[in-house]
């Protein structure tokens, strides 16, 4: 029997200009810039990774800054909210801080009894800060204006906007996630990873969102498995279930398979291994442009064409 899939690994979205994205996620939200690399399928585009200090699975929000991309808007069949976990008692700080930073709070009414702040990031993507328990011990990035006890630790979870939630719900149950309840149009599923990050997925019935994919759109959400063996088991299981997972792709810091879940969202299953310290030490993550070996011979041209952060 295959083990459970215990949480989110990363979430990847499309951004506008790289510098604006970098400034918002490091200077406003206070995340650590954990990896500067390229889109392995499009090497003249950055792939920017942000997370907590140790870049642990369940903390990585990543962006492809696409040149000249038009503004996206939410569509049915996408992840439409990315939620970050902050320690209990942090939201009053964040409300004042985001106000000062010029970030408008859209809502302070969370679902399922959550204490949360909803706002849009610089890309127009809906972000949420949610108070979560048992995360204080996770090491955050230090920031001049954000006290360490309030800093973001990683993901709380995400919201998937779907025409029909039932088959996605079945899939999450296969993954081992448990239904927590219903609130309005949303059904909540949760998991219990050891680090308490990326534990919540809300399936929201939103059949009529006719947006388009672009800046601020989530490209895919990735779930975590410990290693290649677990990933292979899940790949076989998905095939037996009628899905069409891709062959394993080497993403340097993890290995990935992708498939389209029944509601239309692109799902990935990524390995925790080898992790982000594969090619630079923990103390200097995000410092140098990292290329996979097969692009090293083109480093000069790639560096010339990438925008400055």
Q: Which residues bind Zn ion (CB under 5 A)?
A: 12, 222, 268
Nearer to Zn ion, 94 or 267 (CB): 267
CA distance 304 to 307: 8
- Spatial separation of the C-alpha atoms in residues 70 and 85, rounded to whole Å: 29
Cα 123 from Cα 119, distance rounded (Å): 11
Q: Which is nearer to Zn ion, 18 or 103 (CB)?
A: 18
Min dist. Cβ of residue 79 to Zn ion (A): 12
CB of 89 to Zn ion, least distance (A): 32
For residue 88, how far is the Cα from the chain centroid? Answer: 21
Q: Provide the 3-class DSSP secondary structure of residue 2.
A: coil
Report d(CA 197, CA 185) in Å as an integer.
24
Least distance from Zn ion to the Cβ atom of residue 220, Å: 5
38 within 8 A of 291, measured Cβ to Cβ:
yes
Nearer to Zn ion, 56 or 186 (CB): 56
The answer to whether the beta carbons of residues 5 and 176 sit under 8 Å apart is: yes
The two beta strands, 218-225 and 266-271, are parallel
Nearer to Zn ion, 41 or 144 (CB): 41
Smallest gap from Cβ 12 to Zn ion, in A, equals 5
Name the residue nearer to Zn ion (CB basis): 146 or 222: 222
Q: Angle CA(22)–CA(129)–CA(275) in degrees, nearest 5?
A: 55
Supply the minimum distance, in Å, between the C-beta of residue 17 and Zn ion.
21
Helix (H) / strand (E) containing 46: strand 42-51
- Indicate the residue among 38 and 118 with the shorter CB distance to Zn ion: 38
Cβ atoms of 126 and 133 within 8 Å: the answer is: no
Taking the complex as a whole, the smallest distance from the CB of residue 223 to Zn ion amounts, in Å, to 10
């Amino acid at each position: 029997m295959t083990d459970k899939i215990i949480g989110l690994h990363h979430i990847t979205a499309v951004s506008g200009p790289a510098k604006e994205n970098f400034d918002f996620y490091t200077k406003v939200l206070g995340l650590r810039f954990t990896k500067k690399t390229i889109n392995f399928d499009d090497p003249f585009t950055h792939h920017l990774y942000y997370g907590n200090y140790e870049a642990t699975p369940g903390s990585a929000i990543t962006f492809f800054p696409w040149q000249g991309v038009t503004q996206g808007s939410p569509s049915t069949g996408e992840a439409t909210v990315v939620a970050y976990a902050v320690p209990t008692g942090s939201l009053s700080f964040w409300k004042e801080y985001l106000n000062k930073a010029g970030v408008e709070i859209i809502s302070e009414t969370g679902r399922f009894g959550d204490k949360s702040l909803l706002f849009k990031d610089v890309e127009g993507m809906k972000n949420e800060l949610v108070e979560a328990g048992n995360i204080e011990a996770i090491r955050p990035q230090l920031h001049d204006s954000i006290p360490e006890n309030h800093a973001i630790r990683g993901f709380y979870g995400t919201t998937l906007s779907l025409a029909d939630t039932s088959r996605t719900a079945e899939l999450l149950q296969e993954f081992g996630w448990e239904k927590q309840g219903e609130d309005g149009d949303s059904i909540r599923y949760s998991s219990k990873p050891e680090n308490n990050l990326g534990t919540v997925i809300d399936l929201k019935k939103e059949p009529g969102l006719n947006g388009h994919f672009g800046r601020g759109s989530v490209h895919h959400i990735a779930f975590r498995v410990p290693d290649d063996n677990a990933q292979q088991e899940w790949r076989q299981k998905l095939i037996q279930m009628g899905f069409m997972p891709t062959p394993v792709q080497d993403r340097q810091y993890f290995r990935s398979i992708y498939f389209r879940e029944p509601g239309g969202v692109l799902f990935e299953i990524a390995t925790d291994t080898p992790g982000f310290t594969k090619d630079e030490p923990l103390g200097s993550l995000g410092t140098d442009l990292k290329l996979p070996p097969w692009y090293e011979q083109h480093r000069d041209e790639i560096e010339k064409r990438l925008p400055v952060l």
